[in-house]
A and B are shown apart, each in its own frame.
Chain A
Amino acid sequence: DAGVIQSPRHEVTEMGQEVTLRCKPISGHDYLFWYRQTMMRGLELLIYFNNNVPIDDSGMPEDRFSAKMPNASFSTLKIQPSEPRDSAVYFCASSLGSRTSGFMFFGPGTRLTVL
């Protein structure tokens, strides 16, 4: 397996534009997580899914952020409209929930810069 795949790896956009980040989890994993990493706030959990269903989105900063998981192999995180304070590295991670001693696998991240 290629691991968790994220695209794009880098995104530079202007304030007000819509941004879509994409994630392909490891095949067979039933949990998917979106994290945001900044210098000021460290790693923050934004939202997670179980079997494609959003379970906890309490970490989503505001209504400008939305996430979907239309099937087991694909998820998107959308920011509309984007703002400079959204600049961060966004990570997707997946895990197999049935393995009680298992752990999370992270993607390489998407570095977002909003000008």
Chain B
Amino acid sequence: AQSVAQPEDQVNVAEGNPLTVKCTYSVSGNPYLFWYVQYPNRGLQFLLKYITGDNLVKGSYGFEAEFNKSQTSFHLKKPSALVSDSALYFCAVRGRNNNAGNMLTFGGGTRLMVKP
């Protein structure tokens, strides 16, 4: 079985400061890892993914995430937070055997609050 843990329900950061949203996962074999973002009253939007290759993945809106196999982590980062980054962030995983049409297992979500 695969699972995702997002240990923080909420992360608060001041605008202009770096941000980190934490994610750890459990899956058989090597993972595919994803971050989705949900703005108020909207569906989940794809942000970035790790498939293979460089452990540092760059995505939309200046976000990046680092895959750490030994720590089974995939933390989301941004060097300088914007107020508009305030949203709900979901980490997701699936194994490399294409089970169920790319169905993902999601973490519980972390609310990011960026204050001016």
Contact = CB atoms under 8 A, between A and B. Distances in A.
Interface of A: 4, 30-31, 33, 42-43, 45, 48, 50, 55-56, 91, 93, 95-97, 99-109, 111
B42 A33 contact: no
A106 B43 contact: yes
Interface string B35-64: 010000111111001010000000000000
9 contacts: A31-B101, A31-B103, A33-B103, A97-B98, A103-B104, A105-B46, A106-B44, A109-B43, A111-B41
Interface residues of B, number: 22
Contacts of B106: 42-43
Residue among B34, B43, B96, B100 with most chain A CB within 10 A: B43
Contacts of B108: 42
Nearest to B105: A45
Is chain B's binding surface mostly helix, strand, loop or mixed? mixed
A108 B41 CA distance: 8
Nearest to B49: A103
A45 B2 CA distance: 14
Contacts of A56: 100
Contacts of B34: 103
A107 B43 contact: yes
Contact of A101 (B41, B44, B51, B104): B51
B90 interface: yes
